Amino acid sequence: MERKQLSKTKKEVIKIYKNSKMVFTEKEFETMELTDFGLGDFYNIGLSLVIYVNTKRVCAKEMALLPNQICPQHKHPPIGNSLGKEETFRCRWGEVYLYISGPETKNIKAKIPKRYKDRFTVFHEIILKPGEQYTLETNTWHWFQGGEQGAVLSEFSTYSYDEGDIFYDKKIKRIAVDN
């Protein structure tokens, strides 16, 4: 992403975080991660992260999703002696449409751009509104999308080793947009 576009995008993401009424430091905004998952299509497939802590045992982070932005289908497999990441998502602001394995929900709320439709296979919908949360077991296929206004989503988990995530779309690489 070009520097001018990156600056504009960061401002949009920071506005989403501020909408949550949560308090962030300037350093957190300066060091937040923006990822386009190597697709170069941040506004459709992307995610912004502020990581508070990621130790060998626990991880806590805030994720911002722009309106209708998707975090693509992935899972957190066992790595070495780890069983894989277990995570709880808690919606702080906006709406989040979370999709996992299970009975397919008819007429899902998510809006998947046509060019990405074949890159998703799980459609059991869980809608998270502010204050609602959901815990995922390890090694579970999942993906999520911000609602019409975007969303802020907290993640509380065991150790996060994002580089070990498995994405359904083999074109995806866990690559950050230049900060």
Domain containing 110 equals 3-167
pLDDT-derived band at 4 (thresholds 50, 70, 90) equals: confident
**Average pLDDT, rounded, for the chain:** 94
Dist CA 110 CA 80 (whole Å): 34
72-97 pLDDT, tens digit per residue, is: 999 999 888 888 899 999 999 999 99
Is residue 172 domain-resident?
no
Is residue 25 domain-resident?
yes
Is residue 158 domain-resident?
yes
pLDDT above 90 (res 31):
yes
Is residue 175 domain-resident?
no
29-38, 79-88, 95-104, 106-115, range with the lowest pLDDT: 79-88
Could you tell me if 61 and 49 are in contact, meaning their C-beta atoms sit under 8 angstroms apart? yes
**pTM of the complete model beyond 0.85:** yes
The long-range contacts involving 43-46, CB below 8 angstroms and separated by at least 24 positions, are 43/69, 44/68, 44/69, 44/70, 44/113, 44/116, 45/69, 45/70, 45/71, 45/72, 45/116, 45/172, 46/70, 46/71, 46/177
At residue 179, the pLDDT reads: 52
pLDDT above 90 (res 156):
yes
At residue 157, the pLDDT reads: 94
> Domain of 32: which CATH number?
2.60.120.10
At residue 80, the pLDDT reads: 83
Is residue 173 domain-resident?
no
Is residue 177 domain-resident?
no
Based on the structure, what is the number of domains in the chain? 1
Is residue 135 domain-resident?
yes
Is residue 51 domain-resident?
yes
At residue 176, the pLDDT reads: 64
Query: Comparing C-alpha atoms, which of 70, 17, 16, 21 is closest to residue 44?
Result: 70
Average pLDDT over residues 141-152: 98
Q: How far is CA 113 from CA 19, 28, 84, 127, 151, in A?
A: 26, 31, 30, 19, 19
* Tokens coding 61: 């982070």
Average pLDDT over residues 11-37: 96
Cβ-based neighbours of 157, under 8 Å, separated by 6 or more = 58, 59, 60, 85, 86, 87, 88
Q: How far is CA 4 from CA 1, 9, 10, 11, 15, in A?
A: 8, 9, 10, 11, 17
- Distance separating the N- and C-terminal Cα atoms of the chain: 10
